[in-house]
């Protein structure tokens, strides 16, 4: 095995935790990597992919139909991430390229960030921290800086899958929150586990005190949280997005907050990314924003690295990527 795998060239298009590259090397592949922390330029990515049999990619590289056309010789693309909206799956499938992702290992890490953002937004934490940095902590005031409490409120989950379930568990366990959700398909196992109620999208908007987005990013949810959606939400509600920024319309979110259509927001993902430092959301007291760090724990990133490598190893061992996302 070692000998024949040597002829297989794997290109890793980002710096990733070494567990993955070590596994690929131990399996005998010829591994090369992009060793720079900044995203690989497209022309270099294309050039490297053209010389390789397998690609371990990350979400910073757009692998579109043109890419698939030029790299149709690739056997497998393994994406370092559970989301794979950076990849044109239909184009990969039509070129016969198997695509894998890394589900499961970042569930807790991402749910923790959603949960943390919810609390941070509800108590204006990021804004208050900024006030101290600016030298504006003058004295205690009984009527200022007031947040809202979460106990017994209704949590609405948009996309009740692995991460949504973990977020719901945290909210139920800590705040006795009632869980409602909207999915493309009902998740009856999760309904039972969480005593969760399936509702229409409009009901989700109208009934949630905290609405947390956990869906995969597909064309049918692009910009689904827009003016029309925010207009239906409760004025005291908090919008959380740890999925993909493209699910919300950022200007509509800014307007909804300014016009008090909703109370606050917690975002780990923005639209576009990176967010510019003059974005008005950064100066709003009820908004908490992080730079897409949902999966950024040692445990999750090591797990992602391992799974991403195993997708490639599994393909060459058994002809099928273990975490295959092609239909
Ligand atoms: C994912 O896995 O999709 C994350 O957004 C990347 O950390």
Q: How far apart are the CA of 134 and the centre of ligand 1, in A?
A: 33
100 lines ligand 1 (CB under 6 A): no
212 lines ligand 1 (CB under 6 A): no
Catalytic site includes residue 292: yes
How many other β-carbons are positioned within 10 Å of the β-carbon of residue 277? Answer: 6
Output phi, psi for 182, to 5 deg.
Answer: -130, 130
Q: Enumerate residues 6+ apart whose C-beta is below 8 A from 319.
A: none
CATH number at 2-105+298-318: 3.40.50.720
Instruction: Please indicate whether residue 273 is annotated as part of the active site.
Output: yes
Topology alike, domains 2-105+298-318 and 107-289: yes
Distance CA 230, CA 248 (A): 10
**Ligand 1 center from residue 14 Cα (angstroms):** 14
* 19 Cα–ligand 1 center, Å: 18
Say yes or no: CB of residue 165 within 6 Å of ligand 1: no
Mean of the per-residue pLDDT values of the chain: 97
pLDDT at 2 over 80: no
Q: Whose Cα sits closest to atom 1 in ligand 1?
A: 81
Per-residue DSSP letter, 169 = H
CA Rg value for the chain? 21
pLDDT for the residue 3 = 54
List of long-range contacts for 219-227, beta carbons under 8 Å, 24+ apart: 220/184, 221/247, 222/246, 222/247, 223/247, 223/248, 223/249, 224/248, 225/249, 225/252, 225/253, 226/252, 227/252, 227/255, 227/256
CB atoms within 10 A of CB 44: 12
Name the residue with the closest Cα to ligand 1, atom 7: 295
Q: Is residue 1 pLDDT above 70, yes or no? A: no
- Ligand 1 center from residue 15 Cα (angstroms): 15
Instruction: State the pLDDT at residue 4.
Output: 83
pLDDT tens digit sequence for 26-78? 999 999 999 999 999 999 999 999 999 999 999 988 999 999 999 999 999 99
> Which amino acid residue places its CA nearest to atom 2 of ligand 1?
81
Q: Is any atom of ligand 1 closer than 6 Å to the C-beta of 294?
A: yes
Share of the chain above pLDDT 70, in %: 99
CA of 307 to the centre of ligand 1 (A): 13
Residue 124: name the closest of 268, 289, 287 by CA: 287
Q: Is the beta carbon of 246 within 6 A of some atom in ligand 1?
A: no
DSSP state, 321? -
pTM of the full structure: 0.96
- Find out whether the beta carbon of 114 lies less than 6 Å from any atom of ligand 1: no
Average pLDDT over residues 195-222: 98
Q: Which of 170, 244, 248, 306 is catalytic?
A: 244
Q: Is 83 in the pocket of ligand 1 (CB under 6 A)?
A: yes
pLDDT digit string, tens, across residues 231-243: 999 999 999 999 9
C-beta of residue 240 within 8 angstroms of C-beta of residue 213: yes
* pLDDT tens, position by position, 109-142: 999 999 999 999 999 999 999 999 999 999 999 9
How many other C-beta atoms are found inside a 10 Å radius of the C-beta of residue 4? 9
Superfamily of 107-289 according to CATH? NAD(P)-binding Rossmann-like Domain (3.40.50.720)
Domain range list for the chain: 2-105+298-318, 107-289
Exposure letters 134-154 (e unless 16+ CB within 10 A, then b):
eeeeeeeeeeeeebbebeebb
- Cα dist from 74 to 226, 234, 312, whole Å: 38, 49, 11
């Amino acid at each position: 095995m070692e000998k024949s795998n040597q002829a297989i060239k794997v290109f890793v298009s980002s710096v990733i935790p070494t567990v993955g590259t070590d596994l690929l090397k131990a399996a005998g592949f010829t591994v090369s990597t992009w060793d720079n922390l900044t995203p690989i330029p497209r022309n270099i990515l294309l050039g490297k992919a053209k010389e390789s049999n397998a690609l371990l990619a990350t979400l910073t590289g757009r692998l579109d139909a043109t890419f698939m056309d030029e790299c149709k010789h690739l056997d497998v693309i393994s994406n370092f991430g559970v989301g794979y909206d950076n990849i044109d799956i239909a184009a990969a499938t039509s070129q016969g390229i198997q695509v894998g992702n890394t589900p499961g290992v970042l569930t807790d890490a991402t749910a923790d960030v959603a949960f943390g953002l919810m609390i941070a937004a509800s108590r204006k934490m990021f804004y208050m921290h900024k006030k101290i940095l600016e030298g504006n902590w003058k004295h205690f005031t009984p009527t200022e800086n007031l947040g809202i409490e979460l106990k017994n409120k209704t949590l609405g989950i948009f996309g009740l899958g692995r991460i949504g379930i973990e977020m719901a568990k945290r909210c139920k366990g800590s705040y006795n929150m009632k869980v409602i959700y909207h999915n493309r398909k009902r998740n009856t196992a999760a309904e039972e586990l969480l005593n969760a109620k399936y509702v229409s999208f409009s009901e989700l908007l109208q009934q949630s005190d905290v609405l947390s987005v956990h869906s995969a990013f597909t064309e049918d949810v692009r910009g689904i949280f827009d003016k029309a959606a925010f207009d239906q939400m409760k004025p005291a509600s908090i919008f959380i997005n740890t999925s993909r920024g493209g699910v919300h319309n950022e200007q509509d979110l800014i307007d909804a907050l300014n016009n008090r259509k909703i109370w606050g927001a917690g975002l780990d993902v923005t639209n576009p990314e990176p967010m510019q430092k003059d974005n008005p959301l950064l100066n709003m007291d009820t908004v908490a924003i992080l730079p897409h760090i949902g999966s950024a724990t040692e445990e999750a990133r090591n797990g992602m690295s391992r799974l991403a490598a195993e997708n490639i190893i599994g393909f060459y061992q058994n002809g099928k990527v273990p975490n295959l996302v092609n239909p």
